Structure 1
Amino acid sequence: MEVHAHSHTARKKWTHYFWEFIMLFLAVFCGFLAEYQLEHKIERDRAKELAKNLYDELKNDSANVVLKSENRVKQENALKYLIKYFKDSSLTNVSKPFVLSFLYGINFRSPTLFEPRTIVLEQLKNSGALRYFKNNELQKLIGDLSVAINNINDRRELESSIRLDYINPLMIRHFDFDFQSQLTQDGSISIFDAANEYEKNMEIIPFQLKSLDKLDKQYAINILNNYCFNALNSTRTLHFKKYIEVNAEVLKLLRKEYRLK
């Protein structure tokens, strides 16, 4: 009868287990580092993409608000001219500068309207993507930008209500729409282009204020003063100015942080 001897497996030294643990730990740690680096790269890439989109949005608006401010200065000057004319001159036969000032000061509005674009800004706020911007100063400035935009929107509503309640009734009652029809060739030319051309040429198109017997000059002067100084001028010198300043600071910081041009 054969007797089988049992083979004994040699016990591994503790150092073997130690090195196995180290190798396993390093593998897990390196995997963690790789995932961490990947997440950070994704965040950096996302931050740069958002920064570029915000930069383009603000850069376009920075040029637009300057243009709208210049148009407002022209409108304010037109209103000041009308105010002085109402005070000092006869309204029976008005001058060409009066007519042009009536157009630029009372008729026109869209050339002075500034509506900031907020697509990217709202995306940053509503999606929580603002966290991708690690610079605290940039986050603060974006908050300041939102406040400036809200103030401009509030002012636009105020100006709209003044126009609706006071400016439009004044225009509807006293403006010579026969003049507008002749100026624009029965609407075949935009009123803006027609007025610009009329300002440059020597042509005189008849213009007669309507319902002069119902025109309260002092009331009209008060309306124009209110619209000029309490609406247009205040919005431009306070709220447009603040937006321009904050916009410039955000653009400057975005250029620095993300090397944008």
Structure 2
Amino acid sequence: MEVHAHSHTERKKWTHYLWEFLMLFLAVFCGYLAEYQLEHKIERDREKQFIRSLLNDVSTDTVKLNNLINVRNQRENWLDSLTYVMNSQNPRSFPPADVYYYAIFIPRSIPLRFIPNDGTIQQLKSAGGLRLISIIGYDIGVRNLTRIGEVEETLINDYRGIAHYFFDGIVFDSMLDANNIPRRPKYAPQLYSFSDQNLHELNYKLFSIKAYNRASRRESKRLLQQAENLLTILKKEYHLK
């Protein structure tokens, strides 16, 4: 009678299973960390691209704002000059070419418009990325300046509506070159005769335009300061030059 010996597999200790579990856990965890780090790097790189784009936009805005402030200063001089001439005892005693030049430039709104480079800010809004308080503040400042410009446009249209009481539209037309840029007339155009009521209306329109010109200049200076502060903060926060 044969006797068969049965070999018994030695059972693994519980510490072996624990070690296998730990190794598997570490492998999965390290993979998760690597994926997280990669996603974080991609997100950080994407954020830096947005910030670089925002820096370019805001830098361009600072140039526009500086130019706008200078134009506003010049415009106030023209407003003061036209008001002084039209309220003098004899407006026709002043160089009429200069008077027409002041009058045609005052209602020109295109040089006065602030059109921000806000493409990046709009993208950040859509993506819910407006987290930095300085960016939010700058965006609010841009919208405030835009609203002032909208009201000012209404006042300018009111001025255009009464200008024909004082000035010849044919002369205005002759002052514009092929690019629609006004030039002083080379002759002495005549001012129309006007009533005290017409002058009263003109004074009020000029005063209103001047008030909004000052308001826009004030907000432009404030926005310029916000823009410069924002540039400094972004460069420091993201270590950019």
The two structures have a TM-score, normalised by structure 2, of 0.89
Q: What one-letter code is carried by the residue in structure 2 that aligns with 1:105? A: I
Q: Does 1:97 align with 2:86?
A: no
Q: Which residue of 1 aligns with 2:171?
A: 179
Residue pairs, 1:18-33, within 5 angstroms: 18-33=18-33
Q: What one-letter code is carried by the residue in structure 2 that aligns with 1:182? A: S
Q: Distance in 2 between matches of 1:156 and 1:28?
A: 59
Distance 1:158-1:183 versus aligned 2 partners, 3 A rule: closer
Distance 1:130-1:221 versus aligned 2 partners, 3 A rule: closer
Q: Distance in 2 between matches of 1:114 and 1:130?
A: 22
Q: Which residue of 2 aligns with 1:141?
A: 134
Aligned-partner SS, 1:8: coil
Q: Does 1:252 align with 2:241?
A: no
Q: Distance in 2 between matches of 1:205 and 1:70?
A: 29
Quote the sequence identity (%).
32
Q: Distance in 2 between matches of 1:190 and 1:210?
A: 27
Deviations 1:70-123 (A, max 9, x none): 1111111100111111122423454133222212223x2211111223221121
Contact kept? 2:62, 2:224, Cα under 8 Å: yes
Q: Which residue of 1 aligns with 2:87?
A: 87
Distance 1:3-1:88 versus aligned 2 partners, 3 A rule: same
Q: Which runs of 5+ in 2 are unaligned?
A: none
Distance 1:190-1:91 versus aligned 2 partners, 3 A rule: farther
Aligned-partner SS, 2:186: coil
The two structures have a TM-score, normalised by structure 1, of 0.83
Q: Which residue of 2 aligns with 1:42?
A: 42
Deviations 1:21-45 (A, max 9, x none): 2211211121121012112101211
Which residue of 186, 189, 196 corresponds with 1:207? 189
Q: What one-letter code is carried by the residue in structure 1 that aligns with 2:48? A: K
Which residue of 178, 200, 217 corresponds with 1:236? 217
Q: Distance in 2 between matches of 1:99 and 1:249?
A: 41
The offset of 1:213, in angstroms, is 5.0
The offset of 1:52, in angstroms, is 0.8
Q: What one-letter code is carried by the residue in structure 2 that aligns with 1:22? A: L
Q: Distance in 1 between matches of 2:197 and 2:180?
A: 25
Contact kept? 1:68, 1:112, Cα under 8 Å: yes
Contact kept? 1:65, 1:240, Cα under 8 Å: yes
The offset of 1:251, in angstroms, is 0.8
Deviations 1:139-163 (A, max 9, x none): 1111111211121121111101112
Aligned-partner SS, 1:174: coil
Q: Which residue of 2 aligns with 1:134?
A: none
Q: Distance in 1 between matches of 2:144 and 2:128?
A: 23
Distance 1:7-1:214 versus aligned 2 partners, 3 A rule: same
Q: Distance in 1 between matches of 2:180 and 2:165?
A: 19
The offset of 1:223, in angstroms, is 1.5
Residue pairs, 1:26-175, within 5 angstroms: 26-92=26-92, 94-95=94-95, 96-106=97-107, 108-130=108-130, 139-164=132-157, 166-175=158-167
State the superposition RMSD in angstroms. Answer: 2.2
Q: Which runs of 5+ in 1 are unaligned?
A: 132-138
Q: What one-letter code is carried by the residue in structure 2 that aligns with 1:168? A: R
Q: Distance in 1 between matches of 2:198 and 2:165?
A: 12
The offset of 1:12, in angstroms, is 1.6
Q: Distance in 2 between matches of 1:36 and 1:172?
A: 70
